[in-house]
Chain A
Amino acid sequence: MARRDNGAGAPRDVTVTINGRAYHGRVEPRKTLADFIREDCGLTGTHLGCEHGVCGACTILMDGEAVRSCLMFAVQADRAHLHTVEGLADGDTLHPIQQAFWEHHGLQCGFCTPGFLMTTVALLRDNPHPSEREIREGLSGNLCRCTGYQNIVKAVAAAAEMLTSTAPGTATRRTAVREGARARRRTSERSKRRIPAGPAKAGSRRRRPAR
């Protein structure tokens, strides 16, 4: 059944914006968004660890919200704005969250890391000053088998610190609650935003964390 040519089962055109750049592909409806990003767009930083929505390695931002790209079909993302791990750093300048993971040894094998980073972007945007408990619960949809999470939690706390002290205003708490008819409009507004917590300008140039 790989190739059908009748109507609804036939391959479809999909256009998405990933990290600000447009990508186009023609895919079977069954192709998952994760496979589309990795194979058709060549962005292999988004990983697949379970393909059933538990491990979180495939977490990306879709229209600003963290989602599991293994649980969506590429056709569903047509015209969506996506952000993946490849879009976090600004050239050689690491995003503060990446910088914090580096400084605090928040990764070992690095396979789950892209998912944790993208989850953290959304977590710290929604809650710029999380407690340790809130960090742990906020990360509980991502599995790591190497670190025991300890240094990831430390890194997220440090990133929160860096984001709120070095880049005021970029990580505004979203207190507005979307309801009713406003939701759609707000969603489309949000999709135009870049990743809210962008790389801080001064002071976090990709620097080797000194001891």
Chain B
Amino acid sequence: MKPAAFEYHAPRTVEEAVAVLAARGDDAKVLAGGQSLVPLMNMRLARPRAIVDLNRVRGLDRLGETRGVLTIGAMVRQRAAERSALIAARCPLLRDALGWVGHPQIRNRGTLGGSIAHADPAAEIPAVLVALGGEVTVRGPKGARTIRAADLFVTYLTTAIDAREVLTEIRIPAMPRGAGWSWMEIARRHGDFALAGVGVTLALRRGAIADARIGLTGVGPAPVRAAAAERLLTGAAPSEDLWQRAADAVRGAIEPDGDLHASADYRRHVAGVLTIRALREALVRAAAPGTAGRRRRTVT
């Protein structure tokens, strides 16, 4: 199980990376954390003729907040994001979801940009991006462009990013202050790809749901934002009955595949179960405002 030969490029700047990609086209593959790509290469399932390694590109590992939007460099390691006080305070849903990405050894190398660009249909980060309506910046031969999460994920392992483009930055709107959140997932073992996973945020105003976001993973070719369920929740008063109806809406919005780990029916069923549980947990957290802020104080 050894990779086929390839040309190795380790550019220092995004421009250099784009230049190599422009020259090599479909033959080249961008290497970020490598935690998904290298196994595929070791098995010779992927045989790129050229590798463009972003690990020595400067400036892709910045993490900050601009006007209520988290800006995350494509090469920020998942482990760094998981430990980030900023993410814990402003987007605890992302922090919680990151805890489900593989194992610490994987997250030490794996990057947020890599996970998004790889677009595994059962990955956690794309579902969070979709739920929270984030966007990414990509740079290619024609310059930079922005792709909204809703337009980004096309199908299995396929995004709207062109083979000649490099994902450079991820932007995720911070969760509203006081919003509750929950990430719920069923995997065969700790750290495995999700059989189904649900991320929820819930903001309350005067006892009613002011804003609800639901993103799912593992239940189709690409991450799903459960828009119908979100509409049903928005403006309504929280109740078990409402959660049940949201779960039904989620189940109606997905087309899961079956595989040897779980049937399509199971995934659909569990997506609903997890939606209910996530809504319950998010409500508890929303009802106790300042949870995220408190957490931040203890971390920093």
Contact = CB atoms under 8 A, between A and B. Distances in A.
Interface of A: 1-2, 4, 7-9, 12, 28-30, 32, 35, 51-53, 56, 59, 65-68, 70-73, 75-76, 119, 122-123, 137-138, 140-141, 175, 177-181, 183-184
B1 A67 contact: no
Interface string B7-18: 111100000000
Contacts, number: 122
Nearest to B191: A140
B7 A29 contact: yes
Interface in B34-71: 34-35, 38-39, 41-43, 50-51, 53, 55, 61-64
B105 A30 contact: no
Contacts of B4: 1, 30
Given A9-B5, A75-B8, A141 B108 contact: no
Per CB-CB distance, the 6 closest pairs between chain A and chain B, nearest first, are A141-B103, A29-B8, A8-B7, A1-B5, A52-B39, A140-B190
A178 B80 contact: yes
Contact of A179 (B38, B39, B64, B189): B64
B64 A180 contact: yes
Contacts of B38: 32, 53, 70-73
Contact of A30 (B2, B63, B79, B189): B2
A179 B5 contact: no
Contacts of B39: 51-53, 71
- Best-buried of A32, A76, A137 by chain B (most CB within 10 Å): A76
Nearest to B300: A177
B106 interface: yes
A121 B131 CA distance: 36
Contact of A67 (B9, B53, B76, B108): B108
Interface of B: 1-10, 34-35, 38-39, 41-43, 50-51, 53, 55, 61-64, 76, 79-80, 83-86, 102-106, 108-109, 189-191, 299-300
Contact of A66 (B55, B85, B108, B300): B108
A122 B104 CA distance: 9
Main secondary structure of the interface of A (DSSP, over half): mixed
Contacts of A178: 80, 83-84
A138 B1 contact: no
Given A53-B38, A53-B39, A71-B109, A137 B8 contact: no
B106 A141 contact: yes
Contact of B42 (A2, A32, A177): A32
Contacts of B102: 141
A8 B104 CA distance: 32
Contacts of B106: 53, 68, 141
Contacts of A140: 103, 189-191
B53 A76 contact: yes
14 contacts: A1-B4, A4-B5, A9-B8, A29-B5, A29-B8, A30-B3, A30-B5, A51-B1, A52-B1, A52-B39, A66-B108, A67-B109, A72-B109, A141-B106
Contact of B80 (A8, A51, A175, A183): A183
Contacts of B34: 71-72, 76
B7 A7 contact: yes
Contacts of A122: 104
B104 A180 contact: no
